Amino acid sequence: MEDWYHVCGEEERVSLLSPERRVRRNVELILDLLAEEGCTATFFMLGSVAEQEPELLPLIAGGGHEIASHGYSHRLIPELGATAFREELRRTSAIIGSQTQVVPAGFRAPRWSLSRETPWAFEILAEEGYRYDSSLNPLPFVGDRLGARLPFRRGASGGDLLELPPLVTPFSGFNLPTGGGWGLRFFPLPLICSTIEKLNRQGAPAVLYLHPRELDPFGPRLELAPLKSFVVYGPRTDVRQRLRHLLQRFRFGSMCQLVEQWQSA
């Protein structure tokens, strides 16, 4: 739940531009599609976006969807440090609570910036009452390339926190980012469906994700270096048709529903 210009490392430059806001129109497209297919989802909300667009959270919650936290500023967690990270969690939780009367149970870090090198962040999440995290993307360069592909309970100083990694596809010794972002638009749909089916046969969920800008193929772009531009935007095609196919083929629910089923089992 971020706008088209929320790109890690670019926030300071973008803040000087007074950029056009496009997040609401794109969120409405997502909500319409989910309603048509009878699906619920989890929206990881940036606190700053919720402040700027105070009608968004009630609109999402009114559709029966879960609101979770994406932090406040979209800064990488190691850059924030422990004190600022806790402050951002509390600030975003307060905004979500004031607009929806619900306290977020889940968290996802900007650019998958939690890892084995930030154990303190998981401790803070547990201390602040979060039930799950979905920040360990098992990919090289982002997230945790050594991370598990299946959900697991952190335990120890991570408390009873559940970790719910996004979908990836194992291939020749490494993982392909098929679960969201540019990868969800780029890789063949049969490959994505096959990966989902294999996980489901193991009794495991497939966690998919997208950004509102991915339903806005003709929206503005930041001027980025070629590689970063590809990672952020990928093939700039509209993900709606592919998303609709997945929603019709598989059964989806919110992350919190998944956690409740996991804990009750």
**CATH (domain of 132):** 3.20.20.370
Total domains in the chain come to 1
Beta bridge partners of 176: 169
Say which residue, 124 or 145, is predicted with more confidence. 124
Q: What is the pLDDT of residues 171-197, one digit of tens each?
A: 988 899 999 988 998 999 999 999 999
Residue 262's pLDDT is 80
pTM for this entry: 0.91
Per-residue pLDDT band for 238 (boundaries 50, 70, 90) equals confident
Is there a domain that residue 6 lies in?
no
Cα–Cα–Cα angle for 175, 177, 182, rounded to 5 degrees: 155
Query: Measured between alpha carbons, how far is 180 from 208 in angstroms, rounded to an integer?
Result: 6
Which helix (H) or strand (E) segment is 107 a member of? strand 106-107
216, pLDDT greater than 90: no
The answer to whether residue 260 is domain-embedded is yes
For residue 127, the surrounding DSSP H or E stretch is helix 119-127
Confidence of residue 158 (pLDDT cuts 50, 70, 90): low
Residue 166 lies in a domain: yes
Does residue 66 fall inside a structural domain?
yes
Q: Domain limits at 260?
A: 11-264
Q: Look up residue 70 and give its two tokens.
A: 């994406």
User: Of 11, 17, 52, which is closest to residue 27 (Cα–Cα)?
Assistant: 52
Q: What's the pLDDT at 20?
A: 79
Q: Is the pLDDT reported for residue 159 higher than 90?
A: no
Listed in sequence order, the residues at least 6 apart from 65 whose beta carbon sits closer than 8 Å to its beta carbon are 31, 34, 40, 41, 42, 43, 254
Q: Is residue 4 included in any domain, yes or no?
A: no
Backbone angles phi, psi at 119, to 5 degrees: -60, -30
Higher-scoring residue by pLDDT: 31, 21 = 31
3-state secondary structure of 51: helix
**DSSP secondary structure code for residue 157 in this structure:** G
- The reply to whether 2 falls in a domain is no
Q: What average pLDDT does range 221-245 have in this prediction?
A: 80
78-123 pLDDT, tens digit per residue, is: 999 999 999 999 999 999 999 999 999 999 999 899 988 899 999 9
